Structure 1
Amino acid sequence: MKSNVPALYPNTTVGERVLEYAANKSSEIPEALLKYHAEILNLENSIMSISTYQAQAMSFLAKVAGAKRILEIGVFRGFSAMVWSHAVGPTGTVTGLEKSPEYAAFAKKALADHDIKNVTVIEGDALETLKGLDPEEPYDIVFIDAQKWGYPGYLKTVLEKSAPGATGRLLRPGGLIIADNVLRAGVVADPSSDNPETGYFGIDPSKTTGDADRYGANEDLKALDEFSTTMRESPRIDSWLVPLFDGIGMGRLLD
């Protein structure tokens, strides 16, 4: 296809069928995790969970990277941590940072209920707990899926604590930074009236501040744009922004 415009399917119905086909032709994640995801969808704020197809994509990326140590910023109810656990296998480890005591407790119980022993959940504001991490070995992947206005701060800390020769380095050379929700239903890229999601989330593109806890808030949009700009312009990162799901920002640490 010569064009960059992803006009792949004539309507949503066809798109959904193609996605289902793609998921069925991709390597599966364990049935127990699929059942847990279905349970999450019936709980409050289920929109904050990744989809099962995104879980397939993340598992694939982890295996391609040969990842054995993964850091997750934003655990929510623990589904994505379970996916990473499956991807790295029993000899690998996953460390999760979660600000909400409620979600941290929920995730810990869910992990125990599923007999998953290679995931550690650290409770506290990741903007602070991230700075205090001192791993014996650097991580292979850092996955960011927490409060959106914090993304620039997370990236700044990861880069500072992954400098060449740094003690307790966070991310290894060639390691991956993967960030979820970087497009926010496309509104980060196009907040104009051409994008129906702009009106759906009640966003006023002329404003520069907003409720940081609201999905699609203007403060979040500015932070996500700053994050993606830094990923693109940093000489230390080889980046690729993927317009799938809610937008996946990916970067490979060069040094």
Structure 2
Amino acid sequence: MKHCEAAGLFPNEKVSERVFSYATAHTATLPQWLTEYHADICANEEKSNYMISTFQAQGMNWLGRLIGAKRVLEIGVYVGFSTMAWSYCVGPDGKVTGLEFSPQYADMARRAFQKFGIKNTEVVDGDALETLSDLQPSEPYDLIFIDANKSGYPSYLATILEKSRPGSSSRLLRPGGLVLADNILRRGLVADDSIDNPQAVKEKLERAEYWKGNDLEKLREFNDMMVKEERLDPFLLPLWDGVGCAKLLD
């Protein structure tokens, strides 16, 4: 599988592929069953690009282990690859809760959990704009990963902050917990959608419908919220499709 997450950092695609292969080999690995599931989805599902890459899963699992995460909330499950990656990260005594809008994807994820004997995950069906507000966790989450409807990102973050205030009952995210958000640069379009960006030209030609939405504006709003919110210590990682990282400060 090609690594195309940061080709622009290197002189050409061949060098990018070799650098990322080298980096993958020198990063803590994922179990073989998980990488094989990823490969199977890539080969058989039309929208497999909804998944994070295996290398991104390695990187985010490293972050989860760094803070000793045992409780993870995932907003946007798709077919369960990243959910299972978080399950591996937190271990059998941890817990991963996923929110998924599509009943079809939620069922595919549950079947995958059953196939691989995963018992520390659960999927909540419904629109995360609603189900996120309804969550009443017995303990705060250590990490929240956002990878869902891009136009909903500002609302997701606002809800997380509102429900994680100091002293609040059933808070979502613990003090010092992490918020991670995928696709926040959207092939660089969030930072630059001018004709200087070949992706902008390509997208406007091939995906005219996409430009009728407000995803780019909402992602820019989300990124501004991350850096302006005093309770967040943010870092925008310009790798993959852009990953927003922030530590919650109390």
Q: TM exceeds 0.5?
A: yes
Correspondence list, 1:236-255, <5 A: 236-255=231-250
Partner of 1:61: 63
Aligned counterpart in structure 2 of residue 71 of structure 1, from 70, 73, 90? 73
Give the secondary structure class of the aligned counterpart of 2:96: strand
Q: Which amino acid is 1:178 matched to?
A: L
Aligned counterpart in structure 1 of residue 83 of structure 2, from 72, 76, 81? 81
1:218 Cα deviation after fit: 4.8
**1:171 maps to 2:166:** no
**1:38 maps to 2:33:** no
Normalising by the residue count of structure 1, what TM-score does the alignment of the two structures yield? 0.92
**1:145 maps to 2:147:** yes
Aligned counterpart in structure 2 of residue 93 of structure 1, from 92, 95, 99? 95
1:8 Cα deviation after fit: 4.6
Partners of 1:55 and 1:217 in 2: CA distance: 31
Correspondence list, 1:126-137, <5 A: 126-137=128-139
Partners of 2:17 and 2:181 in 1: CA distance: 24
Partners of 2:238 and 2:196 in 1: CA distance: 17
**Cα deviations by residue, 1:163-204 (Å, 9 ceiling, x for unpaired):** 01111000000000000000000000000100000011117x
Partners of 1:110 and 1:156 in 2: CA distance: 31
Partners of 2:9 and 2:156 in 1: CA distance: 34
Partner of 2:12: 11
- CA distance change for structure 1 residues 199 and 8 in 2, over 3 Å: closer, same or farther? closer
Partners of 2:231 and 2:28 in 1: CA distance: 32
Q: Which amino acid is 1:222 matched to?
A: E
Partner of 1:106: 108
Give the secondary structure class of the aligned counterpart of 1:202: helix
Q: Which amino acid is 2:134 matched to?
A: G
Q: Which runs of 4+ in 1 moved over 4 A?
A: none
- CA distance change for structure 1 residues 164 and 135 in 2, over 3 Å: closer, same or farther? same
Partners of 1:202 and 1:138 in 2: CA distance: 42
Partners of 1:122 and 1:146 in 2: CA distance: 14
Partners of 2:186 and 2:213 in 1: CA distance: 11
**Cα deviations by residue, 1:187-225 (Å, 9 ceiling, x for unpaired):** 00000100000011117xxxxxx85xx4x7650000000
Correspondence list, 1:97-246, <5 A: 97-202=99-204, 214=210, 218-246=213-241
Runs (5+) with no aligned partner, structure 2? 1-6
Give the secondary structure class of the aligned counterpart of 2:204: coil
Partners of 1:8 and 1:191 in 2: CA distance: 18
Q: What is the Cα-based RMSD across aligned positions, in Å? A: 1.6
**Cα deviations by residue, 1:40-71 (Å, 9 ceiling, x for unpaired):** 10212011000000010011000001100000
> What is the total number of aligned residue pairs between the two structures?
242
Partner of 2:4: none
1:18 Cα deviation after fit: 0.4
**Cα deviations by residue, 1:94-120 (Å, 9 ceiling, x for unpaired):** 000000000000000011101000000
1:74 Cα deviation after fit: 0.1
Partners of 1:32 and 1:147 in 2: CA distance: 28
Partners of 1:110 and 1:151 in 2: CA distance: 27
- CA distance change for structure 1 residues 247 and 91 in 2, over 3 Å: closer, same or farther? same
Partners of 1:158 and 1:217 in 2: CA distance: 28
Q: Which amino acid is 1:20 matched to?
A: S
- CA distance change for structure 1 residues 54 and 7 in 2, over 3 Å: closer, same or farther? closer
Q: Which structure dedicates a bigger proportion of its chain to helix?
A: 2
Partners of 1:10 and 1:251 in 2: CA distance: 30
1:9 Cα deviation after fit: 2.4
